[in-house]
Amino acid sequence: MKDIIEAIKRSSLKIRDIIEDGDTAKSDNQNSTGDTQLKLDIASDVVIENEFKQLDCIKQIVSEEQEHIVNINESGKYYIAYDPLDGSSLVDVNLSVGSIYGIYENDFTGSNIVASIYVVFGPRVEMVIADGETVKMYRLQKGEFNYIQDIKLNQKGKLQSPGSTQACWYPYHKDMIDNFFKDGYRLRYSGGMVPDLHQILLKGGGLFSYPSTSDLPKGKLRQLFEVFPFAFTYECAGGQAIDGISRVLEIETTHIHDTSPCFFGSNAECEVVKEVYSNNG
C-alpha cells in the first residue's frame, strides 16, 4: 500500500502542473459515460496509468476515462479504480477539483474496498487517506505531503450539498431537502464532489446528495470511481453512505461504469434520508 500512496503523491504533483498549465479545451473523445473528455482528463489519466504500471503490487486498474480494465501484474494484490480529475470542467472557472482512488482486493466490488484516497486541488493540495480504521489528511507543503490531522464526523452537521437537476427531483426528495434548509442547514455546492465532500468532512458533518431523478434514475455518480471510495471514507470517518435506504458498499456492480444514487453524511442526516426513502422509494 505504501508504494501505491507514493505513486499517487508523484501523480498528484504532475496533475497539479497539468491543472496550472494544461489546455482546458475539449478533446475529440467521449468517455464510457458519454461525457466529452477534456484534454486535462486525458493528460491526468496518462500520468496515473504510467505510475501504476510500474507497481508489482497492482493486479488491475480501471479509470473513469477508459472503457476497459487494464492488466498490470497477474500476481498483484490490489485492484485500483480511479477518477483522474473529477470535476475537470471547473478548472476553467478556477474552482477546486480532485482525483479519487478506490483500492480493492479480489475484484472491483464495493464490499472488497480496502482503502480509499482522494486528492483535492484547490488553493492548497490535500490528500486524504482512509484505511479502514482512520481518515488522515496530508497537505502538500514545499513538495512534501505532511500529516495535518485525522478527520472525524460529528453526529450531525450544518451543511448540505444537494446535487443533480432540481427540475427532475422527485417531490419527496425536494421536501426532504427543503426541510433540511428549514432546519437551518446552509447550502454548500460547488459542483465538484471532491471539494464538496471534503468540506462536509472537515466542517464536522452534513449531507451530500446525488439522488435518483426522473432523467437519471440511477443517478450520475459512478460506483467504482466516485461512490465507493467516498463511501469508504465517510464510513471510516464515522458517518454513512447510502443509496437512500441501504449502504452503497453493499451494491452489486454489474458493469465497471455503473452509477448509483448516493447520499454521504453524518449519522443524523443519513437517518432522515433512510426514513424518507423507506416511506417513498
Binding site for ligand AHM (CB under 6 A): 35, 83, 86-88, 163-164, 191-193, 220
- Choose among ligand AHM, Mg ion, none what residue 193 binds, the Cβ cut-off being 5 to 8 Å by kind: ligand AHM
Element (H, E) at 188: none
CB of 142 to Mg ion, least distance (A): 29
Instruction: Give CA separation, 206 vs 4, 145, 232, 249, in Å.
Output: 30, 27, 16, 20
Residue 226 catalytic?
yes
Please identify, using beta-carbon distances, which residue of 14 and 257 lies nearer to ligand AHM. Answer: 257
Q: In angstroms, how far is CA 157 from the centroid of its own chain?
A: 20
Torsion sign over Cα 215, 218, 224, 230: positive
Residue 215 catalytic?
no
Interaction between residue 86 and Mg ion (CB under 5 A): yes
Interaction between residue 65 and Mg ion (CB under 5 A): no
Q: What are phi and psi of 27, to 5 degrees?
A: -95, -175
In the block, residue with C-alpha cell 443524523 = 268
Residue 65 catalytic?
yes
Instruction: Give CA separation, 268 vs 70, 96, 154, 214, 228, in Å.
Output: 40, 28, 9, 27, 21
Of 49, 51, 226, 235, which residue is the catalytic one? Answer: 226
By CB under 5 A, which span of 48-56, 81-89, 157-165, 169-177 interacts with Mg ion? Answer: 81-89
Residue 17 catalytic?
no
Kindly state the number of chain residues that form the binding site for Mg ion, as judged by CB under 5 A. 2
Contact residues: Mg ion, CB under 5 A: 83, 86
Residues with catalytic annotation? 35, 41, 64-65, 83, 85-86, 226
